[in-house]
Structure 1
Amino acid sequence: MFDSFVIFGGIGFIGTHMLRLLREKYPNAKVYVADLLADPSMDQKDAAVSYQKVDVRKPIEMQGEFGKNTLVFNFAAIHRTPGHPDHAYYETNIRGAENVCEFARKYGIENIVFTSSIATYGAAEELKTEDTLPTPNTPYGIAKLVAEKTHEEWAAENSNHRLSIVRPGIVFGTGENGNMTRLYKGLKSHKFAYAGRKDTIKACIYVKNLVRVMLEMAENRNAEKVQLFNCCYYPSFTIEQICHAMMVATGMKRFIPFIPKKPMMMVASVCGLMGGLGLGICPARVKKLMISTNVDGKKLSQSYSLKYSLEEAFKDWFKDCDEKVLE
């Protein structure tokens, strides 16, 4: 179906897992890893993979053979929030979308997969489906929504253009170094407590599930011209359920204390002044813990299956880490 692939942001967490899947499923295809951190010397690792230094904020120039049978994955983004000045989200995520789409136009590429975010919905407790009106309230969420529209404009230009947009919840797995890794470290070191509530919903998805689903979307010739899916488990899990599954999968036994909201924010403020105690603890992150990411993955569950359940995902991640730690 595809004879070549381009992964923008291919050095990142999701990109490296997608590369591994593509080499497994399409061993004879050429894969181009385009990333600001890519080093051409990496080509020596695998002749079928070409690493090219690319800054998506600028017009994209790449060496290779691209055409209608090339599949583009656009993972390039500034995403950690809080953590960057506002303009950084706009420059990379909006200008990057424009340049990736222009690259596709230049070479007659007909299929793009774009990773957006549930941040496009904005922070609120209400359940959010794909039909919910996006009301982003952060620079990151705003930039991702604009980038979605940029890709949709590209898709509308040609009847052969196909676009898959995914809005993942928390993506976790080997190399994540994000929320789930911090949660595990907090549990393991007895430094995690339920912040204000135990029933906070945290929509999430295992990275190996995500990359498989994204590839299947692009391969699905019977799908709609433009596909949009929330990518998370259905139904979504609470923080208490996530902690339980993580502890069962890693053989950890812990009592998790509960700290009411006001004392928790005081602790976070003190920890923030002390550099987060190595766990990234600060008022902004604790506030995020108290707000649900109540995203509905029902549409995805009706169209594509996830290989790993939540507990199976944690077990698989633990296995990939030689059953020592989650990292």
Structure 2
Amino acid sequence: MKITIIGGSGFVGTRLLKLLEESSCTLQNIDKRQSLSYPKITTVANVLDKEKLVSSLAGTDVVVLLAAEHRDDVSPVSLYYDVNVGGMRNTLKAMEANGIKRIVFTSSVAVYGLNKKCPDENHPADPFNHYGKSKWEAEQVLQKWYQTHSDWNINIIRPTVIFGEHNRGNVYNLLRQISSGKFLMVGNGNNKKSMAYVGNIVAFLEFLITEKTAGYNVYNYVDQPDFTMNELVEHVSKVLKIHIPTTHFPLWLGMSGGYCFDLLAFLSRRKQTISSVRVKKFCATTQFSGEKMLQSGFKAPYTLGEGLAKTLEFEFYN
């Protein structure tokens, strides 16, 4: 079987290629950037170039579409829709031209929007930002496509925030702040945060490729059980063998400090590391249901605690 990963030069794609190279599959990576880890199997091409996609996908059996614009500061915002939605359309047309009928697509829990109570896969979509909106539009393109291509196999994964070794995203920044010893806990710390370790994400993608070979399937991905912020701080302290102050500051005091930084950012015209929005997000419960994934037969190779420990030891201990 030949598996082509579109957008495989990044964080998740590199880990997925590393996992899949242990199998007997033939692998190909298509990305606008050359892969530092897998240059020999990488075709440099943009998902917006339909003709290049058509020629590059020849002989492929399964497509894994990871390519996306996902940063918070993408400009112009039309790029979200050009890449995430237009790239989906180009991929489907290139697949059809090559007789390929299997695709695994990485969407996002961002399609649910903010402040939802542990939404499952049947929860109405309500994205609040351009990233979430463009991911939902891409899913709608897939839904419409399946109506006229019922013999296709379409698998969609909606992961929560992903962390792991070599990633410099939101979870890394939070872990770095906690481990620095300068961490301030705002609120009671009982709010829970859904997270996903990259080692489990790529294992689930492999599971979808090998086990879910028919129909249209949508799965949230969350490593469960979720940690509270108190449990997360305790885990970081245990893994790194350091004492982390556990003084709790009331939400009103934290928000007041956030508003002060908002004012400073406005007056200085410079972004600050702290803001009222970030304080509010920190204190919010952000949970998503992973029940359907748990019932699929998939067994995560790592617990959430093990994934965090591997990341902490790699980034801050060794």
TM-score (norm 2): 0.87
Q: 1:252 aligns with which of 211, 236, 242?
A: 242
Partners of 1:84 and 1:288 in 2: how far apart?
23
Partners of 1:307 and 1:182 in 2: how far apart?
25
Aligned to 1:313: 307
Structure 1 residue 218: Cα displacement: 1.8
Structure 1 residue 238: Cα displacement: 2.2
Partners of 2:261 and 2:29 in 1: how far apart?
39
Residues 1:193 and 1:321: Cα distance change in structure 2 (over 3 Å): closer
Partners of 1:321 and 1:60 in 2: how far apart?
41
- Are the counterparts in 1 of residues 48 and 87 from structure 2 also a CA contact under 8 Å? yes
Aligned to 2:219: 229
Aligned to 1:171: 162
TM-score (norm 1): 0.85
Q: 1:298 aligns with which of 279, 291, 300?
A: 291
Residues 1:103 and 1:248: Cα distance change in structure 2 (over 3 Å): farther
Structure 1 residue 7: Cα displacement: 1.4
Matched residues, percent identical? 26
The DSSP-based 3-state class of the residue aligned with 2:295 is helix
Residues 118-267 of structure 1: pairs in structure 2 closer than 5 A: 118-221=109-212, 225-267=215-257
Residues 1:70 and 1:320: Cα distance change in structure 2 (over 3 Å): farther
Partners of 1:322 and 1:292 in 2: how far apart?
26
Structure 1 residue 60: Cα displacement: 4.8
Counterpart AA for 1:5: I
Partners of 1:54 and 1:281 in 2: how far apart?
38
1:44-74 CA-to-partner distances (Å, cap 9, x unmatched) read x768x4222222234251455634x522111
Q: Calculate the aligned-residue CA RMSD, in Å.
A: 2.6
Residues 1:185 and 1:7: Cα distance change in structure 2 (over 3 Å): same
Are 2:91 and 1:100 equivalent residues in the alignment? yes
The DSSP-based 3-state class of the residue aligned with 1:316 is helix
Q: How many pairs does the alignment contain?
A: 311
Partners of 2:49 and 2:159 in 1: how far apart?
26
Structure 1 residue 99: Cα displacement: 1.4
Q: 1:54 aligns with which of 28, 35, 45?
A: 45
Aligned to 2:58: 66
The DSSP-based 3-state class of the residue aligned with 1:312 is helix
Structure 1 residue 8: Cα displacement: 1.4
Structure 1 residue 209: Cα displacement: 0.4
Structure 1 residue 318: Cα displacement: 4.0
Are 2:26 and 1:35 equivalent residues in the alignment? no
Residues 1:54 and 1:46: Cα distance change in structure 2 (over 3 Å): closer
- Are the counterparts in 2 of residues 236 and 296 from structure 1 also a CA contact under 8 Å? no
Residues 1:310 and 1:61: Cα distance change in structure 2 (over 3 Å): same
Structure 1 residue 84: Cα displacement: 4.9
Give the unaligned 5+ runs of structure 1: none
Structure 1 residue 140: Cα displacement: 1.3
- Are the counterparts in 1 of residues 3 and 26 from structure 2 also a CA contact under 8 Å? yes
Are 2:7 and 1:9 equivalent residues in the alignment? yes
Partners of 1:319 and 1:207 in 2: how far apart?
15
